[in-house]
Chains A and B, each alone.
Chain A
Amino acid sequence: MTQAETFVNVDNVAKRWNGQLGVEEVSLSIPRGSFVALLGPSGCGKSTTLRLLSGLELPDEGRISIGGRDVTTTAPSERNLSMVFQSYALFPHLSVAENVIFGLRVRKTPRAERQEKLKRALEITGLLGYEQRKPGELSGGQRQRVALARAIVANQPLCLMDEPLSNLDAKLRASVRKDIKKLQLDLGMTVIYVTHDQTEAMSMADLVVLMKDGHIQQSGAPEDLYYRPNNTFVAEFVGSPPMALIEGSALPGFEGVARIGLRAENVQVTKSGDGRMTCKVSECEFLGSETFIGLTHPGTTGLTVSMPGLRHIPAGEELEITFSDEDLHFFDAAGQRMERLTGAPVN
């Protein structure tokens, strides 16, 4: 996508609770019309970041602007945004229609316009015919769509989503994921989406922001995070299976490097004598088109090789593996990415 102007700008924002936790030094620049995923393990500060953007929490430090307007201390309703909550936050005593138009009623939108917008929002989310149902009479997926309809009916340029799919089953999640992505493109909304599921983040987002302990670890396109992880945390978080880390001392010729990253798809099994490492098989994970074979070797974590089709290798058996130097990622002692090896021998 073309690099549009910055729509949401977060500048060095911090939020602490009793002096701890929260988020620190969060800076983001989000282009108009993009789909941004805030990704990270629980407690990493992604939801806090979203709540700071929504105005439900106010930052202790830093500035936030939306659409060029400084909104650091502006009330949530003045920020021209909508939000989908993890629990959906539907009003249980109101019908689907009343839930969707709640905001329009509050904003005193004329009745005719309200009805028209309602119809359109229900059409988009496939909820026509459910107008009079109460949230309690809907399935989880339908409730989720009501929450979506409520978010899009006001036609705000920015939509915040807080783990909107985490209460759905796996199959539904995949289909709603596509729906949300399509909706975002059709309506031209800017979406900021919190998730702990990297599949969601990688498949939907234009920009993934990976967080840990209140700090942004890396923000970039999904392929950047995958192919050029900033540090060992990103390397070990992104990808399934995650990147294996090998201590430099365990790999002949790379003694000068603290840790080396290697993805499963770049590892090949080779016949004995030709391999660069000899590992023991720890388990096999069959996934249909391929089988992940977990390997153990002193000085490595998460070493895995992917083999096509069904493989069954008994645990404890020895395998020799090889890989090419281009596929290696290098990290220094602090876990930061090193661009290219300086002075180290290249085999």
Chain B
Amino acid sequence: MAEHVNIERRRQAIYGWLLLSPAAILLTTFAFYPSIATLWTSLFSRGTRRNPTEFVGGENYTDLFADPTFWLVVKNNLIYAAATIPISIFIALGMALWANSKIPARGFVRTAYFTPTVLPMIAAANLWLFFYTPGLGVLDQIGSLFGLPSINWLGQPETALWAVIIVTIWKEAGFFMIFYLAALQTIPEDLKEAADIEGASRFTYTRRIVLPLLMPTTLFIMVNALINSVKLIDHLFILTKGGPNDASKLILYYIWEMAFAFFDAPHAAAMTILVLIVLGIVAGIKFTYLDKRTHYQ
């Protein structure tokens, strides 16, 4: 009897481990090990032929904090995040509310909004390059109709970062809209009817009923938008390459440059660790503080 129970228990344990192993192996190979290896690398000096690699502790980090480019890139990325996250979420919500109402050609509207998401970022960047090009670009062509001077949107430090931000918003809003649209469709029709009978205006209904019920989706989208604000740099390669004068350089682009253009792996690793720490802290806040204030159905 006892033996039978033991075998059964062991069988269950093996079964459990088997289910767990694909995720465990993949995550270990591609997430846990690289993170730890990165942390390890960031603590050593860059090896050259004459000076072999040696343990330097936090020196790579202090180097970074003393590097004005690093602070510029951090500032750029903060502006990038502070602009792309709220604006793309806001536009996505507005588009979803509109595409969810009874409008003509609803299918077409939804498809149109979603198209930027389907395009690869590189293709989207090429498209926007065509918009932004001074003289030939669509923006300048339209501007010249009204007698406006030609503007090199990507070529001047004041506008380059914002030009990049707009491309990102354009790309992300349609993607987030799909999540909002799906969430909106899970809200039963009769809640609207109940609110109508109580005399709630469309605005009150949206503010008091729809937005709170969309909170889980908003939280999910916020986490995604945050990750993307660090991750989404493909268009920089096409549009600005971080310039002019580092005005549109973002952290991940800087890390890539450090590691593969300047071959300075330790400093790139140190920067990666800093990014991981910041993202971890923000995600922690979101999942503890905001999660408690969110209603899940």
Interface residues of A (CB under 8 A from B): 54, 56, 75-78, 81-83, 85, 87, 89, 91-93, 102-103, 106-107, 134, 136, 150, 154
Chain A neighbourhood of B297, CB < 8 A: 92, 136
| A156, closest chain B residue (CB) | B197
Q: Is B194 part of the contact surface with A, judged by Cβ < 8 Å?
A: yes
Q: Which residues of A contact B195 (CB under 8 A)?
A: 102, 106
- With contacts A56-B193, A85-B193, A93-B213 taken as known, whether A107 is within 8 angstroms of B199 at the C-beta atoms is yes
Alpha-carbon distance between A102 and B209 when the two chains are bound, in angstroms: 10
Cβ B295 vs Cβ A103 within 8 A: no
B136 part of interface (Cβ distance < 8 Å): no
**Interface residue B200 (Cβ < 8 Å from any Cβ of A):** yes
25 interchain pairs, CB-CB under 8 A? A56-B196, A76-B193, A76-B196, A76-B197, A78-B199, A82-B197, A87-B188, A87-B190, A89-B191, A91-B191, A92-B213, A92-B297, A93-B209, A93-B213, A93-B215, A93-B295, A102-B198, A103-B199, A103-B200, A106-B200, A106-B201, A106-B204, A107-B198, A150-B194, A154-B198
- Nearest first, the 6 closest Cβ-Cβ pairs linking A and B are A77-B199, A103-B198, A93-B295, A89-B194, A89-B190, A93-B212
- Determine the residue in chain A with the shortest Cβ distance to B194: A89
Contacts of A82 in B (CB 8 A): 197
**B198 contacts A106, CB within 8 Å?**
yes
Contact A54 B197 (CB under 8 A): yes
Q: How far is the CA of A56 from the CA of B192 in the complex (A)?
A: 10
B-side interface residues toward A, CB under 8 Å?
188, 190-191, 193-201, 204, 208-209, 212-213, 215, 295, 297
Q: For B197, B199, B215, which residue has the most chain A Cβ atoms within 10 angstroms?
A: B197
Q: A54-B193, A107-B198, A150-B194 are in contact. List 6 more A-B contacts (CB 8 A).
A: A83-B197, A92-B213, A102-B195, A106-B195, A106-B198, A154-B198
A180 CB to closest chain B CB (Å) equals: 18
Interface centre among B199, B201, B295 (most CB of A within 10 A): B199
Docked pose: A81 CA to B212 CA in angstroms: 27
Chain B residues within an 8 Å CB radius of A83: 193-194, 197
Considering only CB atoms, which chain B residue lies closest to A134 in the complex? B295
Complex interface: chain A residues within 8 A of B191 (CB): 89, 91
Q: In the complex, A85 Cα to B190 Cα: how many Å?
A: 8
Kindly provide the distance from the CB of A149 to the nearest chain B CB, expressed in whole angstroms: 13
CA distance A87 to B192 in the complex (A): 13
Tell me which residues across on chain A come within 8 A of B201, comparing CB atoms: 106
With a CB–CB cut-off of 8 A, which chain B residues contact A154? Answer: 198
The verdict on A77 contacting B212 (CB below 8 Å), with A87-B190, A89-B188, A91-B191 known, is: no
Given A85-B190, A106-B204, are A91 and B209 neighbors across the interface (CB < 8 Å)? yes
